[in-house]
Amino acid sequence: MSEWFEIGSEIRVTDPASRGLQYGDGLFETIAIRNGKPRLWRYHVERLTRGCERLGLVAPLATLERELESVLARCELDTAYCIAKIIVYAADTDRGYGREMPSRANVSIGLFPSTPADRQDYRNGVSTMLCETRLATGSPVAGLKSLNRVEQVLARSECLQAGVFEGFTRDADDRLICGTISNMFIVRDSRVCTPSLLRCGVAGTMRQLVINLMDRDGEEVEVRDLDENDLASADEVFITNSQLGALPVRRCGDYTWSVGDGTRHVMALLADYGIEECRS
Amino acid sequence: MSEWFEIGSEIRVTDPASRGLQYGDGLFETIAIRNGKPRLWRYHVERLTRGCERLGLVAPLATLERELESVLARCELDTAYCIAKIIVYAADTDRGYGREMPSRANVSIGLFPSTPADRQDYRNGVSTMLCETRLATGSPVAGLKSLNRVEQVLARSECLQAGVFEGFTRDADDRLICGTISNMFIVRDSRVCTPSLLRCGVAGTMRQLVINLMDRDGEEVEVRDLDENDLASADEVFITNSQLGALPVRRCGDYTWSVGDGTRHVMALLADYGIEECRS
């Protein structure tokens, strides 16, 4: 079940000729709606703005929050706890890859029901795997949430097949990058690290919030290249996602971890910030 | 101007919830229609079949030629010389990246008018550039024509901006890969080379035909890693594309070439095969 809305005169239902479908020429955001309001709105708009700059798209971002609020006010879903998906894609121009830079973009907003992860998962951690699917490295849209997500489709389908909560993807050079629907953090000797996303991967809003909250408290999250050895020698591993907040990881294939102080500290920071899923 | 058709009961007009739009979870082919018939059909279906296997998609490929013929018979376009675009994308399943593997795919066919390149371009060669946009390397869909084409959108838009016929893309490690709408070949000391597409890029049908025709005549096309030095030291450069056949390149940035025997030989092979654009 989902509801879709058309906003303003620039927005129309996609047809097969759309550059969004033909080329994935656009971006999206998946936003947690809590008590009728978008959570981490500023973070989502900031990434969308960077994405539009990179792809040369002009979208009505200034009025987007108002449009979303209007959609939330008139939808039939329970907006106390749901997901909003915003898709921004290049408006149709002439056939072929090339277009004017910048060019006008269409926006669609979808709303979906959502259920929180199990409380057990926040206490005991989730089970993960290393995906076989690799992410190509050196992407011109590294860190952004473009509509080009075939790698995530393949990697996420591996997780569904294996029945695990999440899968970690590596790039073509064996670097750990991120989860299929989350970002990953490693704690070792009380230091928190997360993979660099300069070559590929998606820089999540909750990842950025964790980095910012730690930084505010004078605790630096080290952003650097990580590989499987870092996973093997980690004291703790946790993941973040805009819907879930932070979740401990108890297993990845043969590697296992306990839920430790580093993870609990980050969850407490998020809970204090109002990320209700992380409230103990 | 374009026309779109819906085929069979599995096919429907895309809505914003489509996996094709949301993730680029699919493939496409751009087929030259000449005198009412698809050209290089076997090559297109072969690539589409490999793509469906890689992405875990089940599409009605066995009946696709008949569907295309039916569309061609009833469309309003002049089918003596036009383009058919076939888009195959995952049918909707639950929200989120993951899906069953394999899963059912939808198919859309679009028809577009087409005009041949200038005769001058076949005689004197076209002007090209090296694009700034890089292709990410180590892609799980390397060589295939997935709907994830943001890199080509960015690179092709550079060409439009610069007013050149084509642009050559390099991967993140400076290897030459392909043109934005073509594959590239280099002739040196009477040997013909073309870049390996194992890490990224699209393996074009006309490229494969050239390799096959050369091979049939006992002349091997060397498929290997190439970089800008190979371009600098080339005697001749030419490009191939399903619509254009083979076209000489006379310039790429500061590098210039004459149209030579290697290129003319390939064009003659294609003309003999029935690629009318290459007839002198």
pLDDT of residue A74: 83
Under an 8 A CB cutoff, do B25 and A135 touch? no
pLDDT of residue A113: 87
pLDDT of residue B9: 33
A5 touches chain B (CB under 8 A): no
A263 touches chain B (CB under 8 A): no
> Which residues of chain B make contact with A19, given a CB cutoff of 8 A?
153
**Mean pLDDT lowest among A70-79, A121-130, A244-253, B145-154:** A70-79
Among B21, B100, B106, the residue to mutate for chain A (most A Cβ within 10 A): B21
pLDDT of residue B3: 52
pLDDT of residue A216: 97
What's the whole-number mean pLDDT along residues B96-124?
Answer: 91
What's the whole-number mean pLDDT along residues B138-162?
Answer: 98
Count Cβ atoms within 10 A of the Cβ of residue B183 and give its class: 0-12 exposed, 13-18 middle, 19 or more buried: buried
**For the whole model, what pTM was predicted?**
0.94
Under an 8 A CB cutoff, do B98 and A160 touch? yes
pLDDT of residue A175: 98
How far apart are alpha carbons A136 and B16 in whole angstroms? 26
pLDDT tier at B12, thresholds 50, 70, 90: very low
Tokens read off for A127: 């089970």
Q: Which residue has the higher pLDDT, A18 or A125?
A: A125
| DSSP per-residue string spanning B110-146 | EEEE--PPPHHHHHH-EEEEEEEEEEPBS-TTTBS-B
pLDDT tier at A91, thresholds 50, 70, 90: confident
**Strand, helix or coil at B160?**
helix
What's the whole-number mean pLDDT along residues A51-77?
Answer: 90
**Mean pLDDT lowest among A1-5, A231-235, B52-56, B187-191:** A1-5
Closest CA to B239 of B198, B181, B196: B181
A2, A22, A180: residue with CB nearest B147:
A22
Interface of B with A in 125-154 (CB under 8 A): 133-142, 146-154
Share of chain A above pLDDT 70, in %: 93
Which residues, including other chains, have CB under 8 Å from residue A119's CB and lie 6 or more apart? none
Is the model's pLDDT at A11 over the cut of 70?
A: no
Minimum distance, in Å, between the CA of residue B25 and any CA atom of chain A: 6
pLDDT tier at A9, thresholds 50, 70, 90: very low
Count of Cβ atoms closer than 10 Å to residue B244 Cβ: 23
| DSSP per-residue string spanning A180-249 | SSSEEEEEETTEEEEE--SSSSB--HHHHHHHHHHHHTT-PPEEE-EEHHHHHT-SEEEEEETTTEEEEE
Cβ-Cβ contacts under 8 Å between A and B: the total is: 201
What's the whole-number mean pLDDT along residues B80-107?
Answer: 88
Domain B119-278 of CATH type 3.30.1360.120? no
Beta strand pairing call for A226-227 and A236-241: unpaired
What's the whole-number mean pLDDT along residues A112-119?
Answer: 90
How far apart are alpha carbons B269 and B44 in whole angstroms? 20
Interface of A with B in 60-89 (CB under 8 A): 85, 87, 89
B121 touches chain A (CB under 8 A): no
Tokens read off for A73: 């006010």
Mean pLDDT over the full length of chain B: 92
Closest CA to A204 of A221, A217, A191, A218: A221
A101, A150, A156: residue with CB nearest B161:
A101
pLDDT of residue A15: 61
> Which residues of chain A make contact with B55, given a CB cutoff of 8 A?
150, 153-154
What residue of B is the nearest CA neighbor of A144? Answer: B150
**Mean pLDDT lowest among A56-60, A193-197, B201-205:** A56-60
In the block, residue with structure tokens 């577009």: B112
Minimum distance, in Å, between the CA of residue A128 and any CA atom of chain B: 15
Under an 8 A CB cutoff, do A152 and B20 touch? no
Under an 8 A CB cutoff, do A140 and B153 touch? no
Beta strand pairing call for A255-256 and A245-252: antiparallel
In the block, residue with structure tokens 């990179």: A54
Q: Is A218 left (phi over 0), alpha (psi -120 to 50) or beta?
A: left
Closest CA to B127 of B79, B167, B165: B165
**Strand, helix or coil at B93?**
coil
pLDDT of residue A13: 43
What's the whole-number mean pLDDT along residues A100-121?
Answer: 90
Closest CA to B98 of A248, A128, A166: A166
Using one digit for the tens of pLDDT, what is the confidence trace for A216-273? 999 999 999 999 999 999 999 999 999 999 999 999 999 999 999 999 999 999 999 9
Q: Considering the domain A3-113 in this protein, what is its CATH number?
A: 3.30.470.10
What residue of B is the nearest CA neighbor of A166? Answer: B98
Closest CA to A205 of A237, A173, A170, A245: A245
pLDDT of residue A17: 62
A164 touches chain B (CB under 8 A): no
Q: Which residue has the higher pLDDT, B80 or A3?
A: B80
Is the model's pLDDT at B84 over the cut of 60?
A: yes
> Which residues of chain A make contact with B95, given a CB cutoff of 8 A?
2, 112
A157 touches chain B (CB under 8 A): yes
Minimum distance, in Å, between the CA of residue A21 and any CA atom of chain B: 4
Q: What is the DSSP letter of B202?
A: B
Map out the domains of chain A as residue ranges. Answer: 3-113, 119-278
| DSSP per-residue string spanning A98-146 | ---SSEEEEEEEEEEE--PPPHHHHHH-EEEEEEEEEEPBS-TTTBS-B
Q: What is the DSSP letter of B221?
A: P
Under an 8 A CB cutoff, do B180 and A97 touch? yes
Q: Are A183 and A203 in contact (CB under 8 A)?
A: yes
Using one digit for the tens of pLDDT, what is the confidence trace for A136-158? 999 999 999 999 999 999 999 99
Q: Which residue has the higher pLDDT, B27 or A67?
A: B27
Is the model's pLDDT at B14 over the cut of 60?
A: no
A241 touches chain B (CB under 8 A): no
Using one digit for the tens of pLDDT, what is the confidence trace for B167-222? 999 999 999 999 999 999 999 999 999 999 999 999 999 999 999 999 999 999 99
Is the model's pLDDT at B33 over the cut of 90?
A: yes
pLDDT tier at B71, thresholds 50, 70, 90: confident
Under an 8 A CB cutoff, do B99 and A148 touch? no
How far apart are alpha carbons B105 and A243 in whole angstroms? 29
Closest CA to A31 of A108, A112, A90, A106: A112
Under an 8 A CB cutoff, do A156 and B112 touch? no
**CA A188 vs CA A203, B167, B217: distances in Å:** 21, 46, 61
pLDDT of residue B1: 35
Angle between helices B64-74 and B41-55 (to 10 degrees): 120
Tokens read off for A108: 């669609």
Under an 8 A CB cutoff, do A151 and B140 touch? yes
Mean pLDDT over the full length of chain A: 92
What's the whole-number mean pLDDT along residues B3-19?
Answer: 50
Closest CA to B23 of B14, B10, B12, B33: B14
Count Cβ atoms within 10 A of the Cβ of residue B169 and give its class: 0-12 exposed, 13-18 middle, 19 or more buried: buried
Look up the ipTM and state it: 0.94
> Which residues of chain A make contact with B25, given a CB cutoff of 8 A?
149-150, 153
**Mean pLDDT lowest among A71-75, A154-158, B229-233, B245-249:** A71-75
B28, B140, B150: residue with CB nearest A148:
B150
